Amino acid sequence: MALKPFAFAALVMAMSSAGAAALSPVEQKIVDEVKAHSEQGLQLLERSVNINSGTMNHEGVREVGKLFREQFDQLGFTTRWIDMPPAVQRAGHLLATREGKQGKRLLLIGHLDTVFEKDSPVQLWKRDGARVRGQGVNDMKGGDVIIVEALRALQRVGALDNTTITVMFSGDEESAGHPVEISRADMVAAAKRSDIALAFEATVRDKNGKDTGTIGRRASASWDLEVKGKQGHSSGIFTEGAGYGAVYEAARIVDGFRQQVMEPDLTFSPGLILGGTDVSLDASGTKGQAAGKGNVIARSAAVHGDLRYLSSEQRDRAHAKMKAIVAQNLPGTSASISFHESYPPMSPTAGNLAVLKLYSQASSDAGLGEIPALPPGQRGAGDVQFVAPLLDSLDGLGATGNGAHSPDEDLEIASIERATVRTAILLYRLTR
């Protein structure tokens, strides 16, 4: 469950007061351990990046999972691989746990898969001075390494004893298996046994060049519009008997969305539109066929679109407005719209902001500067959103790089040590 407001406020105040003295002797030892073993972390990153683990390369995902499982075994965690049912068509997830009675119960979230499938021409590991390129190097194998190295630093100073920490590395974050009720069941169950979730997607810098923390992420959803008109000779269009046809009605609706539904952090993009006498979409909604003639009024139209929102209230407002626009049919037409949610929203909350303040304090005390909140509209969907409705959460604690999901994906090597220091101090303070 999320921390009680008064309890969390007291925790933040206590840690902020402690921050006046910067790092404690134990925390300084933790920082020293991180810095002394930075090269070891970089070597682990290289090993993981050199294993292709595109979401649909199940063997590769499991191999990367095996590599990280070895690290958690060495740290004294209880580990297991969670296979998915064949129908889900995903490799599974790595779960590592330890039980104790001290401090907050933490859930640390990463993912093993990348967008680069087995036949990808994108290179594996390639170091160039202070940066390195490779498949998933910052999205998010860099974040996975930060988790491991922060925990390793805590172990070396004896600070892991009697703590409750769960680590979930999913094998399908880039394309979650369906139904998500199955593919994310274990992650949700882990969240219900925890107090705070920390996710390690790449750190994003703000316009001033500062590393940020993510207290909100927009939902990933979709919508499908189906429109019907009266087929007939084109010379009769706009008349009472023939009506306006399906294509004009689809255009009216989509432009109505643009004019009447917009608000901050809400987007609705029509990504595919088909219209004509006959229209068909495949099961994925990404391909289709249309047939028609210039002298025939269109009988059918279909639109498949994307919908992003920051809260359930914003979703409900958008749905209501979009349905109202769809219902105002032009003569001779009819239309219906349906909505489908993939990733729920991670709404910005006071609890999430309080976790960010603790993280920012840890960063400041370590001499790494304050961490501001990233505007929520600037991030896409991620695994943390499946658990954020259940407990206070913070994302964006990973590495810093450029070009995620592209052939130019890279990583600033120094960001691994920076983020590991911040994370290790935060984990230490939360588990005291």
Is the pLDDT at 286 greater than 90? The verdict is: no
Is the pLDDT at 12 greater than 60? The verdict is: no
Q: Are 148 and 140 in contact (CB under 8 A)?
A: no
DSSP structure string for 4-70: PHHHHHHHHHHHHHHGGG-S-HHHHHHHHHHHHTHHHHHHHHHHHHTS--BTT-HHHHHHHHHHHHH
The type of residue at 17 is S
Is the pLDDT at 313 greater than 60? The verdict is: yes
Q: How far is CA 190 from the centre of its chain?
A: 17
Report the pLDDT value the prediction gives residue 8, as an integer from 0 to 100. 55
Tens digits of residue pLDDT in 237-284:
999 999 999 999 999 999 999 999 999 999 999 999 999 999 998 877
Q: Are 203 and 212 in contact (CB under 8 A)?
A: yes
Average pLDDT rounded to a whole number, residues 379-408: 95
Report the pLDDT value the prediction gives residue 205, as an integer from 0 to 100. 94
Q: Cα(20)–Cα(414) distance, rounded to whole angstroms?
A: 26
Average pLDDT rounded to a whole number, residues 21-33: 94
Angle (CA) 33 210 11, round 5°: 65
Max intra-chain CA distance, the chain: 85
Average pLDDT rounded to a whole number, residues 290-317: 96
* Least confident span in 2-6, 89-93, 116-120, 152-156: 2-6
Report the pLDDT value the prediction gives residue 21, as an integer from 0 to 100. 52
Report the pLDDT value the prediction gives residue 219, as an integer from 0 to 100. 94
Mean pLDDT over each residue of the chain, to the nearest integer = 94
Cβ neighbours for 40, distance < 8 A, ≥ 6 positions apart:
149
Report whether the peptide linkage leading into residue 15 is cis, meaning its omega lies within 30 degrees of zero: no
Query: Residue 295 in 3-state DSSP?
Result: coil
Report the pLDDT value the prediction gives residue 75, as an integer from 0 to 100. 98
Is the pLDDT at 428 greater than 70? The verdict is: yes
Higher per-residue confidence, 88 vs 9: 88
Average pLDDT rounded to a whole number, residues 33-49: 98
The type of residue at 29 is K
Average pLDDT rounded to a whole number, residues 294-320: 97
Tens digits of residue pLDDT in 351-388:
999 999 999 999 999 999 999 999 988 888 899 999 99
Report the pLDDT value the prediction gives residue 11, as an integer from 0 to 100. 57
Cβ neighbours for 294, distance < 8 A, ≥ 6 positions apart:
234
Tens digits of residue pLDDT in 92-140:
999 999 999 999 999 999 999 999 999 999 999 999 999 999 999 999 9
Is the pLDDT at 18 greater than 60? The verdict is: no
Average pLDDT rounded to a whole number, residues 384-396: 97
List the domains of the chain with CATH numbers: 25-217+346-431 (3.40.630.10), 219-343 (3.30.70.360)
